[in-house]
Amino acid sequence: MPHFVVDCAHEVLSFQDEEYINEQLFLVASASGLFDDNDIKVRVNPFKTYSVGNQRQHFIHVFANVMEGRTTEQKANLSKAIVTRLTELFPQVPYIAVNIRDFERATYCNRDML
């Protein structure tokens, strides 16, 4: 935990390498001070077919899933930091967004918890 899942237009990967995107998002998450570096997970899902406003526009959307307990201000600052970094990396992409969702500690389970 946390998981940062990047949905994007496939063409976005021609502007920046997928591994570099993962690295940059990791660095933003790490710099936030909200997470242990060993817990940060980042992955990219490029889409070859998509529609944005009924048009084929480049896009990046980050779905951040974090364990509950962070304040709204902390999550808002993280969202802004992610969008800021992605805008720097992808000035040619008109749609860049992020949303942060909380996991409930009571209902979360992973292999190590069995």
3-113 CATH = 3.30.429.10
pTM for the full model? 0.93
With 0-12 / 13-18 / 19 or more C-beta atoms within 10 angstroms meaning exposed / middle / buried, residue 42 is buried
What does the pLDDT look like over 37-91, one tens digit per residue?
999 999 999 999 999 989 899 999 999 999 999 999 999 999 999 999 999 999 9
Helices (H), 58-105: 72-89
Kindly indicate the confidence band of residue 3, based on its pLDDT and cuts at 50, 70 and 90: very high
Taking 3-state DSSP, the helix, strand and coil percentages for the chain, each rounded to the nearest 5, stand at: 40, 30, 30
Q: What distances in angstroms separate CA 59 from CA 20, 62, 65, 67, one per listed residue?
A: 17, 10, 20, 26
With 0-12 / 13-18 / 19 or more C-beta atoms within 10 angstroms meaning exposed / middle / buried, residue 107 is exposed
The DSSP bridge partners found for residue 62 are 6, 98
Share of the chain above pLDDT 90, in %: 90
| Closest to 61 measured CA to CA, from 18, 24, 97 | 97
